[in-house]
């Protein structure tokens, strides 16, 4: 049996097109677009401020430093889904007696920042390090959407 190369190529192209349609990701942020360089810089400053405050709060044992700048993060804690769990995080760090907490927010990959109508969402994949009184440390990756687009917590920053 002789195979027609034109027909085989057409079949492969059709199969590839069908497969690519089935594996297209769903738009997780409808209406959002990738941030421009300037927009990304503004959002990244906010994210860096948030993680700096989170590290300070973890060592001091007081989440007020986070909530002074981002008051909506003090509302609606949901530990099962990981929403607004800053107070819980700070409590856990206080119980562990950490002496230093560091977040390297773009250590694993560059943050992906999206904007829509004056709101922003970012996906962060970084590294965190917690140091203990004995000198040892826990180092872990973290992956977080900041802020959750439907809540917009970081977009509502207060000066504080």
C-alpha to C-alpha distances, 147 to 15, 73, 94, 120, 135, nearest whole angstrom:
39, 10, 24, 7, 33
Token pair of 21 as six digits:
């349609």
Count of domains for the chain: 1
**Residue 143 located in a structural domain:** yes
Q: Report yes or no on 152 lying in a domain.
A: yes
Give the tens place of pLDDT for each residue, 40-77.
999 999 999 999 999 999 999 999 999 999 998 888 88
Asked, for residue 142, whether it belongs to a domain, the answer is yes
CATH number for position 99? 3.10.450
Quickly state the pLDDT bin for 150 (edges 50, 70, 90): very low
Q: The domain containing residue 107 runs over which residues?
A: 32-156
Helix (H/G/I), strand (E/B), else coil: 158: coil
- pTM, whole model, 2 decimals? 0.72
Model confidence at 82, pLDDT cuts 50, 70, 90, reads: confident
Percent of the chain whose predicted confidence (pLDDT) is above 90: 52
Band of residue 144 on the pLDDT scale cut at 50, 70, 90: confident
Whether 70 maps to a domain, the answer reads yes
Residue 21 lies in a domain: no
The answer to whether residue 48 is domain-embedded is yes
């Amino acid at each position: 049996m002789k195979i027609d190369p034109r027909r085989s190529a057409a079949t492969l192209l059709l199969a590839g097109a069908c497969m690519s349609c089935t594996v297209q990701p769903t738009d997780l942020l409808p209406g959002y677009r990738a941030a421009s360089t300037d927009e990304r810089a503004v959002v990244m400053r906010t994210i860096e401020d948030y993680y700096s405050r989170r590290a300070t709060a973890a060592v001091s044992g007081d989440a007020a430093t986070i909530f002074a700048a981002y008051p909506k993060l003090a509302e609606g804690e949901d530990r099962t889904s990981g929403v607004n769990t800053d107070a819980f995080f700070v409590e856990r760090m206080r119980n562990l007696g950490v002496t230093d907490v560091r977040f390297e927010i773009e250590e694993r990959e560059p943050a992906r920042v999206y904007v829509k109508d004056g709101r922003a969402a970012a996906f962060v994949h970084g590294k965190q390090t917690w140091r203990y009184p004995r000198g040892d440390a826990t180092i872990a990756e973290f992956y977080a959407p900041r802020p959750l687009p439907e809540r917009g917590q970081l977009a509502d920053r207060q000066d504080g």
